[in-house]
Amino acid sequence: MTTLQNDRFLRALLREPVDVTPVWMMRQAGRYLPEYLRVRKQAGSFMNLCTNPELACEVTMQPLERFPLDAAILFSDILTIPDAMGLGLYFAEGEGPRFERPLRSRADVAALGVPDPEDSLRYVMDAVRLIRRTLDNRIPLIGFSGSPWTLATYMVEGSSTKTFSQVKGMLYSEPRLMHQLLETVAASVTSYLNAQIAAGAQAVMIFDTWGGVLTPADYRTFSLQYMQRIVEGLTREAEGRRVPVILFTKGGGAWLEAMADTGCDALGLDWTTDIGDARHRVGERVALQGNLDPAVLYATPDVIREKAGHILQQYGTGNGHVFNLGHGITPDVNPENAAALISAVHELSAPFHE
């Protein structure tokens, strides 16, 4: 087993004792950092940044140079898989992701194959390998993927959407076609995450950004079921150590028990659930990651410290808590406020681990 200088994050995910609560931030490598914006500009486009392992590694490392974070997360995008399937991902300035060839017919769905991660997604695996070498076992590296349902929303809509009219039109009118699509995507995600683990990812997280727009029954059928298949198909040990799996459904606070039943190691929580209540509901089965409202970072360092302390208090003493935001850090946050959060979590959490 390779020795990590700081393994708090992995230990907390497995509900083992730690000295202080580990902390990282979703989108910690991102637009709130001026040094990120410089590299992003140099890359020319967001996709150039994602597909260049050296640049992806550079921006992955940037927040670690500023803050004593307990985990690094691969810099990439959830839409790399559909891009590798041939849909033609691009980013229209200020408009978010778009596909040149969204899925428009049964034939489009039938034509989809499972991409070979070491071929059309090799740039991601190269980034993972390079980041691991650069991290040099200081802290663990998180790999990630979008959930099948979340990826399917973009693949069918062709872009971000408010109404989900096309993808829900397919779900409601042609549920079998939707299942066919989700099966292919789930197989692709499994293969993609296993390749990330083989390349060096020490934990993986599945982002189900849009599971929360489904009815409770449809969430189980069209999102959770496929995340469960992925969890069941993942390599759970590498380098002599368990590789924890974190599931995160934004807006999924009502469904935590069912999510814990998938066999994952931890659940990500958005800020609309009380983490103390969530622990009462599922705490003995999984670790919990979260869940500060990212908008708290618009307040002052004193308020940030108070609110971070409040979440530590809600979770309470004992193992199994990874501190995080309830969603990604937003582009216009002052990096000094992020620094205030990270140090508050480390300072204030020690008494909860005595």
Note the residues at the interface with a copy of itself (CB under 8 A).
163-166, 168-169, 172-173, 212-217, 251, 253-254, 271-274, 277, 293-296, 298-300, 303, 307, 330, 332
Q: Whole-number minimum distance, CB 55 to a copy of itself, in Å?
A: 26
Q: For residue 262, which amino acid is it?
A: T
The smaller minimum CB distance to a copy of itself, of residues 90 and 172, is found at: 172
The smaller minimum CB distance to a copy of itself, of residues 192 and 210, is found at: 210
The smaller minimum CB distance to a copy of itself, of residues 175 and 351, is found at: 175
Radius of gyration of the chain from its Cα atoms, rounded to whole angstroms: 19
The smaller minimum CB distance to a copy of itself, of residues 244 and 328, is found at: 328
- The stretches of 205-264 forming alpha helices (DSSP H) are 216-218, 225-233, 256-260
The smaller minimum CB distance to a copy of itself, of residues 72 and 156, is found at: 156
Strands (E), 136-195: 141-146
The smaller minimum CB distance to a copy of itself, of residues 36 and 219, is found at: 219
- Tell me which residue of 287, 269, 275 sits closest to 316, measured CA to CA: 275
The two three-digit tokens of residue 231, written as one number: 């969890």
The two three-digit tokens of residue 266, written as one number: 């931890």
Pairing of the two strands 245-249 and 266-268: parallel
Q: Whole-number minimum distance, CB 300 to a copy of itself, in Å?
A: 6
As a whole number of angstroms, the distance between CA 131 and CA 56 comes to 8
The two three-digit tokens of residue 240, written as one number: 């002599």
- Tell me which residue of 36, 238, 225 sits closest to 149, measured CA to CA: 225
- Tell me which residue of 55, 56, 72 sits closest to 64, measured CA to CA: 72
Q: Whole-number minimum distance, CB 239 to a copy of itself, in Å?
A: 38
Q: What separation in angstroms does the CA of 123 have from each of 39, 195, 209?
A: 17, 12, 24
Q: Whole-number minimum distance, CB 259 to a copy of itself, in Å?
A: 15
Q: Whole-number minimum distance, CB 101 to a copy of itself, in Å?
A: 22
Element (H, E) at 174: none
Q: Whole-number minimum distance, CB 327 to a copy of itself, in Å?
A: 10
Q: Whole-number minimum distance, CB 170 to a copy of itself, in Å?
A: 9
Q: Whole-number minimum distance, CB 325 to a copy of itself, in Å?
A: 12
- Tell me which residue of 204, 301, 279, 189 sits closest to 245, measured CA to CA: 204
Contact between 160 and 167 (Cβ < 8 Å): no
Strands (E), the chain: 72-73, 89-92, 96-99, 141-146, 203-208, 237-238, 241-242, 245-249, 266-268, 287-292, 321-325
